[in-house]
Amino acid sequence: MERPFPTVAVVGLGTMGAGVAVAVAQSGRRVIGIEANEDSAARALARIEEATAHAVARERITAEDRAALLARISVGHALDAAAAADLVIEEVPEQLELKRELFAALDRICPPGTVLATGTTALSVTRIAAATARPERVLGLHFFNPVHTMKLVEVVRTVLTAPQVAEDAAAFARELGKEPVAAGDRAGFVVNGLLFAYLNQAAAMFESKYATREDIDAAMRLGCGLPMGPLALLDLIGVDTARTVLEAMYEQSRDRLHAPAPILGQLVSAGLLGRKSGRGFYTYEAPGSSRVVDAAAGPAGARGTGREVRTVGVCGSGTMATGIVEVFAKAGYPVLLAARSQEKAERAKAQLAKSLERSVAKGRLTGEQRDAALALVTPVGQYAELADVDLVVEAVAEDLAVKRELFAVLDKIVKPGAVLATTTSSLPVISCAAATSRPQDVIGLHFFNPAPAMKLVEVVSTVLTAPDVTATALEICAKVRKHPVECGDRAGFIVNALLFPYLNDAVRMLQEHYATVDDIDTAMKLGCGYPMGPFELLDVVGLDVSLTIEKVLHQEFREPGLAAAPLLEHLVAAGCLGRKSGRGFRDHARR
C-alpha cells in the first residue's frame, strides 16, 4: 500500500499542534503548518525550533535530523495552503464554533479527497464533521501531551466516517511510531472517559473531607502503582480543563458520577487552575512549577502518642495473615500466629519460611535476617494464647459473621488496653467493633496483597475509635516501614472506592461495544502510564472478588452509576473468574 498521507497540514501550532507537526515531519512527511496570523506563526516556528533543539540536546535526534526535519516544515498563516495536503489535522483551541468554522472553510479549500481530522479532547467529532460536506472523510485524531513521549493516539470514528479513512489514519499513526486505538465519538473517548470519572470521584472524596489530599494521592500511587495521585494529576491537567471535559461527559451520559464535583468549579472561579496558575489542590513554588510548597507533614504524630506495642498477635492462616506476620517479624516484633488449629498455624509458618527463603534467594534478605524473623514467630492453635499481646491483627475469612465471632472471642481473651485491628477490605470496621465491649480499641488496618511488598496501609478509624488507638496504628505502620493513609469507615475505604468504579466503567465500555479489551487496556497503559490495563487487573484480582466489592460499593452509596456491569455478573455466573479459573476477560494458560 502507498504511504498514507504524504503531505499533512497542521492547523493551530500551540501545545499540541507544534508537537504533532514535529512528529509528522519526523516520519519523513511534508508538513504545512498554519497559524492564525503572522505573529502567532512566527511564535509557532520559534516553538518548533526550540522543541527540536531540545530534542537534539537530549540526544533524541541528531543535528542533521533536525535540519532535515525543519526543512520539511513550512509555517504560514494562510489557510489556503491546506489545499496541498492529503490530510489536515486541526489543533486549534477547544471551542466548538471555532472548530466548525474552520472545518467549513477547509471543506471549501481542500480537494474532495482530503481527509480532515480534529484534535478535540471533549467536543463532538460528529458536530464538527457536520460543518462539512464530506463527513465520511472527517475523523478525530486524539494525540496525548507531550506528543513526543506519549505513544497513544485515539482514532475517533463517527457513524459517518468511512472505515477506510479510519484505517488509513491508524496506519498513519503507526508510521509516526504511535499506537492507535479505535474509539467511537463519545465525550472523553476511551482514556478520558475512564480517567475523568475517577478523578472526579477523588475530588469529591477530598471535598467531603473523607481523607486528606496527600492520603488520597498516596493511596492510589502505593495501592495501585499509578504514576501520580488523582489530585496531583488534576493539578497537572488543569482544573478548568478537567471541569470542561466532565461537563461534556455529563452532558452525554447524564451519569451523576460525571457531574463535576463542586470543588472543581470553586477552584476554577478562584483562579486556582493547578500547576499552570501556581495553585490548585496543591500550592506550587511558581506558576508552571511542579514543586509543591505546602505539603503537609506526615500523618504520624498528628494525633498525639499511641499505646506501646511490644508484641503482636495475627489471627488467620491465609495469604494476608502470613504476609502480615512476615511484615511484623521482619520489623523485629515477636508475633503469635494464631489459627483455628495448631496444624493450620504450623502450616502458615511453613509458608512464611518459604516466602522468607525466596527473599534470601533474591538477595533481599540475609540468611541471618531470615532466621531472626522466623525465630520471632510462634504458631499457636488457640486464640486464648493471645491474652497478653498489645496488638491483634485479624486476617481471617472476609465474612462478617466469622469476623464478629472472632472479635467477641478476642474481647473476652485479650488484655484490656490492647489494640484490636481488622484487615477487612470491604466490611464495616464498626460491625467488628460492635461485637466487642471495647469498640474504642478497634480499628481497621487494611494491608494490601502481597503484604510484605505493598507499602500502603489504610488506617480506618470508626466513629468510636479512640484517638490514641489511631495514633498507635499510625506509629506501628511507621515502625514496620509502611505508608499509612487515614480514612473513615466507609465501603471501599480510599483505594477500592476509587479503583473499582473505574474498573466497572471499563467493563461497561466493553459491554457497550465501544472499544475492545485490547484497545482499552492499551489506551490506559499508554495514555495514563498505568502498570496494567483494567481488564488485565480484573483478571488478576478475580472477577468474583471484583463483583463483590462493586456490590458492596453500590449497596453503600446507592449511586446508579456504581451498579455492577451486567457483563461482569454474567462472566462470574459462567465461572470465568480470571487468571485463577483460566478464563476471564482473556484466556489464560492454566498453571
What DSSP element (H or E) covers 561? none
Q: Quote the least distance from Cβ 101 to ligand NAD, whole Å.
A: 8
Q: Alpha-carbon distance 325 to 340, whole Å?
A: 16
Question: Minimum distance between the CB of residue 125 and ligand NAD, rounded to whole angstroms?
Answer: 11
Q: Could you tell me which residues are beta bridge partners of residue 184?
A: 157
Dihedral sign, Cα of residue 32, residue 33, residue 39, residue 45: negative
In sequence order, the β-bridge partners of residue 487 are 460
CB of 141 to ligand NAD, least distance (A): 10
- Closer residue to ligand NAD, CB minimum distance, 121 or 424: 121
User: Residue 109 CB, nearest distance to ligand NAD (Å)?
Assistant: 12
**Strand boundaries in 374-522, DSSP class E:** 377-380, 391-394, 419-422, 442-447, 456-461, 483-488
Containing H/E element for 521?
A: helix 517-528
Q: d(Cα 146, Cα 15) in Å, to the nearest integer?
A: 8
CB nearer ligand NAD, residue 34 or residue 194: 34
Cβ closest to ligand NAD, residue 83 vs residue 409: 83
Q: Nearer Cβ to ligand NAD, position 143 or 206? A: 143
Query: Which residue, 42 or 295, is less far from ligand NAD as judged by CB?
Result: 42
DSSP conformational letter for 85: -
Point out the residue whose Cβ comes nearest to ligand NAD: 14
- Residue number, 35 or 86, with CB nearest to ligand NAD: 35
Return d(Cα 528, Cα 171) in angstroms, integer.
Answer: 22
Query: 34 or 356: whose CB is closer to ligand NAD?
Result: 34
| Residue 382, SS3 per DSSP | coil
Q: Is 50 exposed, middle or buried (0-12, 13-18, 19+ CB in 10 A)?
A: exposed
Give the CA dihedral 52, 57, 59, 64, nearest 10 degrees: 60
Q: How far apart are CA 286 and CA 445, in angstroms?
A: 38
Closest CA to 7 of 82, 57, 58, 67: 82
Q: Which residues bind ligand NAD (CB under 6 A)?
A: 11-17, 34-36, 40, 44, 91-94, 102, 119-121, 142-145
3-state secondary structure 139-161: EEEEECCCCCCCCEEEEEECCCC
- Burial readout 349-386 (b: 16 or more C-beta within 10 A, e: otherwise): bebbeebbeebeeeeebeeeebeebeebbebbbebebb
In angstroms, what is the minimal distance from the CB of 145 to ligand NAD? 3
Rounding to the nearest 10 degrees, give the CA dihedral for residues 253, 257, 262, 265.
-50
DSSP state of 130: T
CA of 558: how far to CAs of 172, 276, 434, 578, in Å? 45, 37, 24, 27
Please tell me the distance from the alpha carbon of residue 499 to that of residue 372, in angstroms, as a whole number.
Answer: 37
Q: Give all strands of the β-sheet with 115-118 in edge-to-edge order.
A: 73-76, 30-34, 7-11, 87-90, 115-118, 138-143, 152-157, 179-184
Least CB distance to ligand NAD at residue 410 (A): 53
Nearer to ligand NAD, 39 or 285 (CB): 39
Q: How far is the CB of 102 from ligand NAD (least distance, A)?
A: 6
- As measured in angstroms, the least distance from the Cβ of 40 to ligand NAD is 4
Complex with ligand NAD: residue 25 or 476, whichever CB lies closer: 25
The single-letter DSSP state of residue 292 is B
Give whichever of 7 and 311 is closer to ligand NAD, judged by the CB atom. 7
Of 40 and 311, nearer to ligand NAD (C-beta) is 40
Nearer to ligand NAD, 130 or 434 (CB): 130
Nearest distance from C-beta of residue 14 to ligand NAD, angstroms: 2
CB of 48 to ligand NAD, least distance (A): 11
Beta bridge partners of 499: none
CB of 238 to ligand NAD, least distance (A): 8
Q: Which is nearer to ligand NAD, 194 or 491 (CB)?
A: 194
